[in-house]
Amino acid sequence: MSHEISTRILLRELADGSPDDELTFDLILDSFRHRSYGLFLLIVLIPVFIPIPAGQGGFSGLLIALIGAQMLWQMEHPWVPKLIGQKTFKRSHVINFQRTFDRWLGYIEKLCKPRYEYAFDHTWARAFSGLLLVLLGLLLALPIPLTNYPFGLIILAFSLGFIERDGILLGLGWVFGIAEIAVLFEFSGLIIQMLEKFLAYLF
pTM above 0.85, yes or no: no
Which residues constitute the domain of residue 78? 7-202
pLDDT tens digits along 133-187 = 999 988 888 777 667 788 888 999 999 899 888 999 999 999 999 998 888 877 7
Query: Could you say which DSSP state residue 24 is in?
Result: E
Domain for residue 73, yes or no?
yes
Average pLDDT of the segment spanning 65-84: 84
User: From start to end of the chain, where are the E strands?
Assistant: 22-24, 88-90
Query: Could you say which DSSP state residue 22 is in?
Result: E
pLDDT tens digits along 92-102 = 888 888 888 88
User: With contact defined as beta carbons under 8 Å apart, do 95 and 39 qualify?
Assistant: no
Examine the pLDDT at 12 and tell me if it is beyond 70.
yes
Q: Which residues make Cβ contacts (< 8 Å) with residue 80, sequence separation at least 6?
A: 25, 26, 29, 63, 66
Comparing 8-17, 35-44, 140-149, 178-187, the range with the smallest average pLDDT is 140-149
How far is Cα 44 from Cα 55, in angstroms, rounded to an integer?
Answer: 13
Domain for residue 1, yes or no?
no
How many domains does the structure of the chain reveal?
A: 1
pLDDT at residue 189 in the model: 67
Domain for residue 106, yes or no?
yes
Domain for residue 2, yes or no?
no
Domain for residue 173, yes or no?
yes
pLDDT at residue 2 in the model: 42
Domain for residue 83, yes or no?
yes
